[in-house]
């Protein structure tokens, strides 16, 4: 198996290879044809192709030597005002050689920039528009000041569809000669929640085990419990089998190495699938939130989750009496 990270190895190189973002791709292709790009703000959840789209735009605009015309900065690491005044300004003020009269500066995770740095960037974008165009990438665009947002053309990326995720995972598995089973795909998609980068990383981690990639392997490498086991845990508690439920809890934590916080999140997801009155779903959601808060504050995983199981037992008993 290749030691190269698959997320980079199988990254699209051209705008025409990007899927599930048709409206965005069509607008960017229009910029390439006109050889003119405005300042852009790429916003949306992680793993949906924002950075890839920026690199593909540069590739299609400048050709194979596009790396000579762009600069990538990750604002979560280099987010101070000095970087904007020195590094960014130095790059932005020089005109490139070639038929495209401007360079592109890609500022990843721009929503992590300090307020002072954003104010400095605002002026730089305005002053050096002729020689440099900025592509700001953010998961939370609301953290970017309004004057910068108003200078940019907005692009809103959405989560990839199940079909697109499945197709890409199958393609990578075929190229890497990995046996990817159907339930393995389902598990990866459930865990990744539309984040393609996360899905590919999970696939690579699961493939490194050297076994066919099924749901057990996937849950094992990511440290999450099988949803079936979580549902069984809830069923035992709701039916009053507290001791058995607690034993199941300890088994899950030892078998999968899952943390208390992750297990609470899975229980939270499963609670809303239960066939119980809505008022009890509300109360259980409140109890789960309290448990997660206590875990974040440093509470012991096993003790807090056992207390949550006790609440499930109590609710199950009350619902049973109401039905009688």
Tens of pLDDT, residues 3-61: 458 888 888 999 999 888 889 999 999 999 999 999 999 999 998 999 999 999 999 99
Round to whole Å and give the CA distance between 263 and 253: 8
Round to whole Å and give the CA distance between 110 and 53: 16
Residue with tokens 């300890």: 250
Burial of 86 (0-12, 13-18, 19+ CB in 10 A): exposed
Residue ranges of the alpha helices (H) in the chain? 6-9, 22-34, 50-62, 81-83, 89-93, 115-127, 146-150, 162-175, 182-192, 196-207, 215-222, 227-238, 242-255, 260-271, 278-296, 301-323
What average pLDDT score do residues 117-133 get?
89
* pLDDT (0 to 100) of residue 1: 45
53-94 pLDDT, tens digit per residue, is 999 999 999 999 999 999 988 866 666 677 777 788 888 888
What average pLDDT score do residues 215-238 get?
88
* pLDDT (0 to 100) of residue 138: 93
List domains and CATH numbers for the chain: 6-156 (3.40.50.300), 162-222 (1.10.8.60), 227-323 (1.20.272.10)
* Residue closest to 133 by CA, chosen among 219, 42, 195, 250: 42
Beta bridge partners of 135: 40, 106
Residue 194 has pLDDT above 90, yes or no: no
* pLDDT (0 to 100) of residue 160: 86
Round to whole Å and give the CA distance between 54 and 103: 12
* pLDDT (0 to 100) of residue 241: 92
148-166 pLDDT, tens digit per residue, is 999 999 999 988 889 989 9
What average pLDDT score do residues 263-274 get?
88
Residue 74 or residue 177, greater confidence: 177
pTM, entire model: 0.78
């Amino acid at each position: 198996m290749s030691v190269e990270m698959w997320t980079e190895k199988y990254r699209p190189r051209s705008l025409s290879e990007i899927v599930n973002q048709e409206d965005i791709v069509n607008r960017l292709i229009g910029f390439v044809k006109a050889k003119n790009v405005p300042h852009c703000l790429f916003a949306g959840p992680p793993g949906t192709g924002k950075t890839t789209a920026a690199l593909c735009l540069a590739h299609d605009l400048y050709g194979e030597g596009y790396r000579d015309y762009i600069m990538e900065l990750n604002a979560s690491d280099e987010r101070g005002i000095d970087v904007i005044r020195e590094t960014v300004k130095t790059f932005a003020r020089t005109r490139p050689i070639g038929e495209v009269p401007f360079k592109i500066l890609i500022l990843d995770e721009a929503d992590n920039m300090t307020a002072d740095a954003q104010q400095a960037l605002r002026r730089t974008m305005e002053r050096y528009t002729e020689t440099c165009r900025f592509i700001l990438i953010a998961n939370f665009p609301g953290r970017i000041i309004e004057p910068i947002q108003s200078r940019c053309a907005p692009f809103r990326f959405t989560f990839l569809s199940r079909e697109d995720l499945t197709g890409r995972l199958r393609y990578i598995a075929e190229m890497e000669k990995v046996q990817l089973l159907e339930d393995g795909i389902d598990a990866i998609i459930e865990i990744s929640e539309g984040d393609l980068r996360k899905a590919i990383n999970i696939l690579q981690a699961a493939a490194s085990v050297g076994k066919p990639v099924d749901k057990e392997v996937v849950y094992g490498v990511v440290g999450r419990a099988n949803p079936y086991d979580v549902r069984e845990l809830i069923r035992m508690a709701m039916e009053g089998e507290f001791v058995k439920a607690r034993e199941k809890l300890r088994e899950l934590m030892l078998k999968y190495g899952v943390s208390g916080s992750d297990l609470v999140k899975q229980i939270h997801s499963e609670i809303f699938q239960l066939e119980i009155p809505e008022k009890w779903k509300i109360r259980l959601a409140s109890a789960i939130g309290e448990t997660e808060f206590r875990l974040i504050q440093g509470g012991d995983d096993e003790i807090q989750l056992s207390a949550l199981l006790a609440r499930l037992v109590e609710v199950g008993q009350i619902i049973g009496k109401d039905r009688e």
